[in-house]
Structure 1
Amino acid sequence: MSSEWIDVNGHSIHVQRTGNASLPTVVFLHGFTGSTATWNTVISLLDGKIHAVAVDLWGHGRSDCPENSSAYAMDHQTADLEQLFTELALEKFTLVGYSMGGRTALGYAITYPERIEKLVLESASPGLKTESERKDRKQRDANLAYRLLGEPLSDFMDYWENLALFDSQKSLPLFQQEEVRKERMSQNPKGLANSLVGIGTGSQPSYWDVLKIQTYPVVLITGSLDLKFETIALEMKSVLPNVAYYSVENAGHAIHVEKPEKFATILDEMKN
């Protein structure tokens, strides 16, 4: 496992690479409050099978936190990822994204489809369909950003971890819960706040109308306990022309954390 920092548009992106570059390349994008560390277990389970490239998105992990929230916007982030992948000499790869990282992965794949071997979306959405929904969510994202900057990070994470979305994680062994908490507490509040404003669900463009023209293979993964994203995934499945869907039993929003062996098995089997 090696860490690299790549300069992109005057800022530094942290990348963690594992495995021989001659193996099939799989790029991993984490969710909000996450980092490259969230993928460590899954990547270790695929040791010797893939060349893993995990990226800390802007404002997260060990990547920089640009001051202007516009740097976090979808069009900027996807362009920056394209520059990063060019710097890393990644020509074609499987792109895996979880939640916020899944939305970013979809935005990237739509913009740069020639790079995509397969697209794997874990608990991800193509965005909100109407302007009124986006306006309402944008305000809620802004409120969360304000809260991040106005209270101790531990208080915000107490709130975040108690969202219904993460209820199933309370059944994880204590050491796993502590690892997730440690990862969240390592974040920069300013980076998280800018991420919410720049690439939150309210600011993301809706991709629903262009799903039907995406021809690369797409794999959708959701947890059976995450009813909201199961519903979204089933609707995406009905539109995408080249799609497989996996619902993982007794898992919630973060399948790669709650059921890493199953998640790794899906990634391994789809290579064949």
Structure 2
Amino acid sequence: MEPLTAMVRGIRISYREAGDPHGEPLVLLHGFTGSSLSWTAFADEFGSYRLIMPDMTGHGNTDAPLGSDRYTMDEQVADLDALFTQLGLERFSLLGYSMGGRIAIGFAAAHPEKISRLILESTSPGLRTEDERKSRRESDGKLAAFIEREGIRAFTGRWENIPLFASQKRLPEDVRDRVRSGRLSNDPTGLAGSLRGIGTGNQPSYWDCLEQFGMPVTLITGALDEKYVKIAGDMARRLPDAHHVTVPDAGHTVHVENPARFATIVKEALKP
């Protein structure tokens, strides 16, 4: 499954396609430090769909522009919309994990008529207050500076040891090595730009938009990831058509920690 490329609004976006080219489209958006490779293990499970898996700006083989302006929510939503138009996607299901989930929410808010189903794993509509956003911008700025100063290997060692990913330490060594390899393959310029441009401190808050989401929304969380279980519960109470599934004994990366259960939830969510 080799990566493909498209020129979109002045940058090169890399993406992968799999599944049935005539099937219902399903777009999958990876998280921070990930890439389209995050999803290739599910190509057979979701093989009856036309799978579109972009590398987000600054990740994988997609360009990593200098500066943070090109990484903002508005820019990334516009890039995705232009890419989907090139690929002939008029209406599709959209799945996003963590950062990719936040971008999926932003896309659904801007183009609700294009989304038939929305599936969100371990994500948030943003921070509620300006004080929270300011604090997060400061911490993300410091982390971005660390990446630029110390490089991708030092950053990866630091990132994989944050409490959010504690449950990944129980995974088999080959799985942890695969996740680490994916993180190490990213461009430090792109990761720093992502932190400054699309971090939760800079993205809009979409909490007040959720009540307008008319499409079915499935929220997936791991029971060990208590912060995001609570966020998803709060989201479910605002969304008109929401289904929240919490996977026992899993943390933030349900699709890595329990891929079989994750695939089952997604396939159930995609049923007409």
- Calculate the TM-score normalised by the size of structure 2: 0.98
User: What RMSD over aligned residues (CA atoms) do the two structures have, in Å?
Assistant: 0.9
SS of match in other structure, 2:246: strand
Q: State the one-letter code of the partner of 1:23.
A: G
Structure 2 equivalent of residue 138 of structure 1: 137
The C-alpha deviation readout for 1:242-267, integer Å capped at 9, x for no partner, is: 11111011110011111111111111
Structure 2 equivalent of residue 249 of structure 1: 248
Shift of 1:143: 0.5
The C-alpha deviation readout for 1:153-200, integer Å capped at 9, x for no partner, is: 111111100011001111111100000000000000000000100000
Shift of 1:45: 2.3
Structure 1 equivalent of residue 173 of structure 2: 174
SS of match in other structure, 2:14: strand
Structure 1 equivalent of residue 23 of structure 2: 23
Structure 1 equivalent of residue 153 of structure 2: 154
Structure 2 equivalent of residue 92 of structure 1: 91
1:43 matched to 2:38: no
Shift of 1:89: 0.4
Structure 1 equivalent of residue 32 of structure 2: 32
Q: State the one-letter code of the partner of 1:16.
A: R
Q: State the one-letter code of the partner of 1:221.
A: I
SS of match in other structure, 1:44: coil
Shift of 1:135: 0.5
Structure 2 equivalent of residue 116 of structure 1: 115
1:11 matched to 2:11: yes
Structure 1 equivalent of residue 164 of structure 2: 165
SS of match in other structure, 1:32: coil
The C-alpha deviation readout for 1:208-265, integer Å capped at 9, x for no partner, is: 1111111111110000000000000000011100111110111100111111111111
Structure 2 equivalent of residue 198 of structure 1: 197
1:261 matched to 2:260: yes
In structure 1, C-alpha distance between the alignment counterparts of 2:183 and 2:3, rounded to whole Å:
19
Q: Is the 8 A contact 2:35 2:55 kept in 1?
A: yes
- Between the two proteins, the alignment pairs up a number of residues equal to 271
Gaps of 5+ in 2: none
In structure 2, C-alpha distance between the alignment counterparts of 1:197 and 1:10, rounded to whole Å:
20
Q: Is the 8 A contact 2:119 2:269 kept in 1?
A: no
Shift of 1:270: 2.1
In structure 2, C-alpha distance between the alignment counterparts of 1:256 and 1:124, rounded to whole Å:
13
In structure 1, C-alpha distance between the alignment counterparts of 2:72 and 2:176, rounded to whole Å:
30
Shift of 1:203: 0.3
Q: Is the 8 A contact 1:45 1:261 kept in 2?
A: no
The C-alpha deviation readout for 1:34-87, integer Å capped at 9, x for no partner, is: 00011122233223x211110100000010011131010001110111001000
In structure 2, C-alpha distance between the alignment counterparts of 1:43 and 1:257, rounded to whole Å:
14
In structure 1, C-alpha distance between the alignment counterparts of 2:193 and 2:133, rounded to whole Å:
17
Runs (4+) off by over 3 Å: none
SS of match in other structure, 2:39: helix
Q: State the one-letter code of the partner of 2:238.
A: V
SS of match in other structure, 1:65: coil
Structure 1 equivalent of residue 222 of structure 2: 223
SS of match in other structure, 2:179: helix
Q: Is the 8 A contact 1:8 1:83 kept in 2?
A: yes
Shift of 1:2: 4.4
Q: Is the 8 A contact 2:69 2:197 kept in 1?
A: yes
Structure 2 equivalent of residue 77 of structure 1: 76
More divergent stretch after superposition (53-62 vs 152-161): 152-161
Q: State the one-letter code of the partner of 2:7.
A: D
How many percent of aligned residue pairs carry the same amino acid?
47
Q: Is the 8 A contact 2:19 2:46 kept in 1?
A: no
Q: State the one-letter code of the partner of 2:45.
A: L
